[in-house]
């Protein structure tokens, strides 16, 4: 009989475990003692300069996380993507949590396949190996063959539903109990964050749900030549088995590995970050587990944008249209250094209460985020911002809405992955131009409203400095000029003459009237700025570069 999983329910699962003290008490004691011993060992050996000591300590850390099971492995995977938080010698060992864990018994895997698919592997496939090629937190992958085509067959670990249900309840219980004593001030109950984690894990162990996610993700990226999603093989997939086409690529683990395969690390960083931004700001549907074990560099592409393959679509999440647009506004307000409006964005997203006096937050926000486009951009990354915000949260009532738990995890993991490939990587150097281009080329009603906020103030007057800032962000880099100038010029022209552009034309006409008189100075500055940016020479250079890049 095929296994059926329930959805995560904090109350029901807590009651389920509390009615089974013979399971709860020994497991809680084991987890507490394990972490006490780990803490003591790190306390006494963590600062040692002896390489052998650190090597043994990193191996001990790996063994502890592995032994504690799938929930803790997932937490360890998140740490394994952050070279700025974890020592390099520990990081190397933690990377094995992504897909190099101890495999479960091969005979059990064969039995699960037969139970789920209704036949033994020798009847289903032309070739099936005697051992898995990779083993991760929730399953292990075999490289099978049928009709001269290689397939990736992922088989779920046995007893997984019980293990996750038990440990998520315990994590929630311990987290809620210990949070008042921990140096945390995230402004929301840690139980809510663990609830989001639990829901995601329960979805992730349903491979039928993962299959649906893979099909949806592939559809969203079907027009993107740089993103590859493996093909789902429905006839070899079920609740505990998922089979896809085999990906022949290089994992995004480190720079040297890519260079050994004649691949350019920077090109994959850009594809990775841009695709992540698309997921958040265009699709509203994102891969919440983008660690190096789930992303492969493929041959092809070019020096600017490499070809990238995503795998493992168990942990996915949505972002509402309202949150998506508010986040875009927030980035625009950071660009324009409008900190009161940024505070309003935080309030709308739920990071601040409705009763909060936003004016009091203008200077603190300026201190945390100010200069991100100026002299400090070279030092700007999410780790720096997180460190500053953590201090800010002790003085001001910021809170982290639980619905942002997976979004933050995905963004931070993605930046961590990029930092592994390039320690000097700065996410804003890609994110800001992306947002600027989206504002200038996306003609949807919502984005048009945001663009109008940038171009015109509340009185309808042209904000030359902000328009100039927007264009400067997009075109200050010669690489961006080559790829973006003509698309932006075309989109702008289409918008201006279209029905949607009526609001732009009306505001331009109204901006010419000041004190009941015609005033052309701002309009002249605007058209001068557009003329200089989109000069015939720049357009010609862009056209030539685009032709060269397609040859």
To which H or E segment does residue 123 belong? Answer: helix 121-124
Q: Judge whether 289 counts as a catalytic residue.
A: yes
Q: What is the CA radius of gyration of the chain?
A: 26
H-helix or E-strand spanning residue 113: helix 106-117
- Element containing residue 245 per DSSP (H, E): strand 241-245
Residue in this structure with the two tokens 């349903």, named with its chain if needed:
206
β-strand partners of 316: 287
Residue with tokens 């972490």: 35
Q: How many helices (H) and strands (E) does the chain have?
A: 24, 12
Cβ proximity of 413 and 468 under 8 Å: no
Query: Rounded distance, CA 64 to CA 37, Å?
Result: 10
If you count them, how many residues does the chain have? 551
In whole angstroms, give the CA distance from residue 495 to residue 491: 6
Question: Under a CB-based contact definition with an 8 Å cutoff, are residues 315 and 210 in contact?
Answer: no
Q: On the CB side of 104, how many CA atoms lie within 13 Å of its CA?
A: 23
Per DSSP, what are the bridge partners of residue 497?
none
- Catalytic option among 13, 167, 206, 289: 289
Residue 517 phi, psi dihedral angles, 5° rounding: -130, 155
One DSSP character per residue, 132-166 reads: -SEE-SSEEEEEEEETTEEEEEEEEPTTHHHHHHH
Q: Residue 81: which residues within 8 A CB-CB, separation 6 or more?
A: 291, 292, 412, 413, 416, 417, 420
**Would you say 302 and 336 are in contact if contact means Cβ atoms under 8 Å apart?**
no
CA distance linking residue 244 with residue 230, whole number of Å: 6
Cα–Cα distance, 71 to 168 (Å, whole number):
7
Catalytic residues: 289
């Amino acid at each position: 009989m095929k296994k059926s999983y329930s959805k995560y329910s904090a109350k029901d699962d807590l009651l389920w475990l509390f009615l089974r003290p013979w399971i709860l008490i020994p497991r809680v004691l084991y987890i507490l003692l394990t972490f006490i011993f780990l803490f003591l060992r790190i306390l006494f050996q963590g600062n040692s300069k002896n390489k052998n000591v650190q090597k043994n300590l990193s191996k001990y850390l790996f063994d502890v996380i592995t032994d504690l099971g799938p929930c803790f492995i997932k937490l360890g995977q998140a740490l394994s993507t952050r070279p700025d938080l974890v020592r390099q010698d520990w990081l190397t060992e933690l990377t094995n949590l992504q897909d190099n864990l101890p495999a479960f018994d091969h005979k059990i895997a064969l039995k699960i396949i037969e139970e789920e698919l209704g036949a033994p592997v020798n009847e289903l496939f032309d070739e099936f190996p005697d051992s898995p090629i990779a083993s991760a937190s929730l399953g292990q992958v075999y490289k099978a063959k049928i009709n001269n085509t290689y397939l990736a067959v992922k088989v779920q670990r046995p007893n997984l539903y019980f293990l996750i249900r038990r440990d998520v309840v315990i994590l929630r219980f311990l987290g809620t109990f210990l949070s008042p004593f921990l140096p945390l001030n995230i402004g929301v109950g840690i139980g809510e964050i663990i609830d989001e984690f639990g829901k995601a894990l329960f979805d992730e162990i349903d491979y039928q749900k993962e299959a649906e996610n893979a099909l949806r993700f592939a559809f969203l990226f079907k027009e993107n030549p740089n993103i590859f999603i493996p093909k789902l093989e429905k006839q070899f997939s079920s609740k505990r088995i998922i089979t896809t086409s085999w990906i022949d690529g290089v994992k995004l683990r480190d720079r040297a590995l890519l260079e050994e395969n004649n691949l350019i690390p920077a090109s994959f960083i850009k594809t990775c970050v841009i695709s992540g931004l698309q997921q958040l700001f265009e699709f509203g549907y994102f891969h919440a587990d983008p660690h190096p074990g789930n992303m492969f560099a493929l041959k092809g592409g070019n020096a600017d944008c490499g070809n990238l393959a995503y795998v493992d679509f168990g942990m996915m999440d949505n972002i509402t249209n309202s949150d998506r647009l508010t986040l875009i506004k927030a980035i625009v307000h950071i660009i324009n250094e409008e900190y009161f409006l940024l505070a309003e964005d935080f309030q709308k997203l739920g990071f601040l209460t409705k009763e909060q006096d936003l004016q009091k937050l203008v200077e603190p926000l300026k201190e945390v985020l100010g200069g991100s486009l100026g002299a400090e951009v070279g030092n700007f990354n999410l780790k720096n911002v997180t460190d500053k915000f953590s201090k800010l949260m002790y003085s001001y009532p910021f809170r982290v809405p639980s619905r942002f738990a997976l979004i933050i995890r995905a963004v931070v993991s993605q930046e961590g992955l990029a930092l592994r490939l390039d320690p000097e990587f700065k996410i804003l150097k890609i994110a800001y131009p992306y947002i600027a281009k989206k504002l200038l080329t996306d003609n949807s009603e919502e984005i048009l409203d945001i663009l109008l906020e940038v171009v015109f103030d509340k009185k309808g007057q042209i904000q030359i400095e902000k328009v100039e800032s927007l264009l400067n962000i997009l075109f200050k880099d010669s690489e961006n000029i080559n790829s973006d100038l003509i698309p932006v010029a075309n989109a702008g022209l289409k918008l201006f003459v279209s029905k949607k552009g009526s609001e732009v034309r009306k505001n331009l006409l109204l901006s010419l009237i000041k004190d009941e008189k015609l005033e052309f100075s701002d309009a002249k500055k605007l058209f001068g700025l557009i003329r200089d940016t989109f000069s015939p020479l720049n357009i010609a250079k862009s056209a030539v570069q685009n032709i060269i890049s397609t040859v």
